[in-house]
């Protein structure tokens, strides 16, 4: 495929329809690093700037509208600006929810709701303000609890940008996922981060056998996100539970994407596998900066009463921790999902399935092989996630290695060309796809598949 030629043509079409966004971007570049605050939002050649967002769609400064599957980094399970949250939250703000600095009651109900939905007893919750912080504190709690230094994580797993987890996120040719990701993280810390392959029980067993006594925790996403929207097998998670227990390793589930995405609870309840600590974020804040660490009492005690002569983990909270407005918004969101679970989750799952199948067929009709990931498995049956991959080699696309190795998948085609091509057709995606929300009606899903079909025709010209 002539990818450079394709990209040039797509870029020119994008520039034609977004002159005002370019103007705004020029202004932004002068005062902000690369013109913004989040790299994923700053695509090439420049991002559009939004003028409005409602439900499934966003409007840009040039008045182009796009069906959006990024949906607030997958946090907007009810779409942009959902009426149910705006209305009730507005009332609560009127009554004084716009405050931080004191203990307020909405956080108690949110914690109760989380524990109840997770079906957990003997666990406690502490809220913070980002997924990055929730996973970082989880790791610190595990280190303190075990007195060990090493952290085991999955290659391709993104848990946010804390120094303890900035290794093994991006695929590097010839090296795979065995790489540090950022300057500014000490070599000592990088040595303590060990990488295992997602859903590979043999590799996990080997590492725990060889290094188990030095490992404080094993952190993973049961349904991996940026690593490829792939569900772990039940056997793998059961094995992970059994082996971590045997080796005295704290098991941490990162449920920041999977929490309340597939059912009105953590995906851990579907697997029936209980971690020692779990991190939640994104949609539990109802559009606000909320994350939570949910952990066994004994481990959570490390941040308050670790025992005589031992230092506590300084998981003390920040200015905006458990902000009343955020907690209220989170509660409105979770209550809505819980009350309407029987309608919401099957519908999201069906829409996800229709999209994945429809996109594969649209490309197949043009003679281009596409394989969507995001499908569930025998445990996770209602997946609303989708990633669109262009396999180059025969592969089951079962691991982050498959998804991100340019010898296995045409990564630039997915990440760069598909993005621009779909923007040209009024659809906004990240990693070739994204997450369906309740605002994506049947009509919107149908229009999306039509857009992919048009893109397939364009791509065919460059194959």
Residues in contact with ligand PLP by the rule CB under 6 A: 73, 130-132, 135, 158-160, 221, 225, 254, 256-257, 281
Q: State the nearest-atom distance from the C-beta of 130 to ligand PLP, in Å.
A: 4
> Given the complex with ligand PLP, which of 220 and 303 has the nearer CB atom?
220
- Minimum CB distance to ligand PLP smaller for 163 or for 306: 163
CB of 89 to ligand PLP, least distance (A): 20
**Smallest distance, ligand PLP to C-beta of residue 457, A:** 33
Name the token pair of 146: 């075990």
- Residue 191 CB, nearest distance to ligand PLP (Å)? 23
The DSSP code sequence of 304-346 is T---TT-PPP-----TTTT-HHHHHHHHHHHHHHHHTHHHHHH
Provide, rounded to whole angstroms, the least separation between the CB of residue 137 and ligand PLP: 12
| Pick 249 or 257: Cβ nearer ligand PLP | 257
What single DSSP character describes residue 287? T
Q: Which residue, 131 or 400, has its beta carbon nearer to ligand PLP?
A: 131
Provide the minimum distance between the beta carbon of 261 and ligand PLP in the complex, in angstroms, as a whole number. 11
The pair of structure tokens assigned to 436 is: 């369906």
Shortest distance in whole angstroms from residue 227 CB to ligand PLP = 9
CA distances from 253 to 146, 245, 275 (A): 17, 14, 6
Q: Hey, how many other C-beta atoms are within 10 angstroms of the C-beta on 260?
A: 24
Taking CA atoms, 81 is separated from 55, 177, 287, 335, 438, in Å, by 6, 37, 8, 17, 12
Does residue 134 contact residue 279 with C-beta atoms inside 8 Å?
yes
Contact 283, 332 (CB under 8 A): no
The rounded distance, in Å, linking the Cα atoms of 418 and 9 is 12
The smaller minimum CB distance to ligand PLP, of residues 75 and 299, is found at 75
Q: Which is nearer to ligand PLP, 139 or 256 (CB)?
A: 256
* Closest CB to ligand PLP among residues 2, 37: 37
Cβ-count burial 59-86 (b if 16+ within 10 Å, e if not): ebbbebbbbbbbbbbbbbbbbbebeebe
């Amino acid at each position: 495929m002539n990818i450079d030629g394709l990209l040039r043509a797509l870029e020119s079409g994008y520039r034609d329809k977004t002159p005002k966004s370019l103007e705004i971007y020029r202004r932004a570049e002068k005062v902000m690093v690369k013109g913004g605050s989040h790299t994923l939002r700053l695509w090439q050649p420049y991002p559009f700037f939004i003028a409005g967002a409602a439900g499934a769609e966003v409007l840009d400064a040039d008045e182009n509208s796009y069906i959006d599957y990024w949906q607030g980094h997958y946090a907007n399970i009810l779409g942009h600006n959902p009426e149910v949250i705006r209305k009730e939250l507005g009332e609560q703000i009127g009554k004084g929810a716009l405050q931080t600095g004191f203990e307020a009651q909405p956080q108690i109900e949110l914690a109760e709701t989380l524990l109840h939905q997770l079906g957990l007893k003997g666990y406690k919750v502490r809220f913070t303000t980002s997924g990055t912080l929730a996973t970082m504190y989880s790791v610190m709690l595990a280190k303190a609890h075990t007195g060990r230094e090493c952290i085991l994580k999955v290659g391709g797993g993104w848990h946010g940008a804390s120094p303890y987890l900035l290794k093994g996120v991006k695929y590097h040719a010839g090296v795979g996922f065995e790489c540090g990701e950022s300057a500014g993280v000490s070599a000592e810390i990088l040595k303590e981060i060990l990488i295992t392959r997602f859903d590979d029980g043999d590799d996990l067993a080997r590492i725990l056998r060889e290094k188990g006594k030095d490992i404080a925790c094993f952190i993973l996403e049961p349904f991996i996100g940026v690593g490829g929207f792939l569900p772990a097998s039940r056997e793998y998670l059961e094995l992970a539970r059994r082996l971590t227990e045997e080796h005295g390793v704290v098991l941490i589930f990162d449920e920041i994407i999977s929490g309340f995405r597939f059912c009105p609870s953590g995906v851990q309840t579907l697997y029936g596998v209980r971690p020692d600590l779990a991190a939640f974020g994104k949609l539990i804040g109802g559009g606000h900066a909320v994350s939570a660490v949910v952990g066994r009492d004994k481990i959570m005690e490390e941040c308050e009463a670790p025992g005589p002569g031992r230092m506590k983990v300084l998981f003390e909270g920040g200015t905006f921790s458990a902000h009343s407005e955020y907690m209220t918004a989170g509660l409105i969101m979770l209550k809505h999902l819980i009350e309407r679970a029987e309608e919401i989750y099957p519908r999201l799952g069906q829409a996800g399935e229709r999209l994945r199948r429809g996109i594969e067929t649209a490309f197949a009709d043009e003679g281009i092989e596409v394989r969507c990931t995001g499908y569930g498995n025998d445990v996770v049956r209602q997946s609303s996630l989708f990633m669109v991959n262009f396999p180059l080699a025969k592969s089951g696309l079962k691991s982050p290695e498959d998804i991100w190795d340019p010898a296995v998948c045409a990564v630039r085609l997915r990440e760069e060309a598909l993005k621009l091509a779909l923007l040209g057709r009024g659809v906004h995606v990240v990693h070739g796809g994204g997450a369906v929300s309740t605002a994506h009606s049947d009509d919107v899903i149908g229009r999306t598949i039509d857009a992919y079909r048009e893109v397939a025709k364009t791509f065919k010209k460059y194959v």
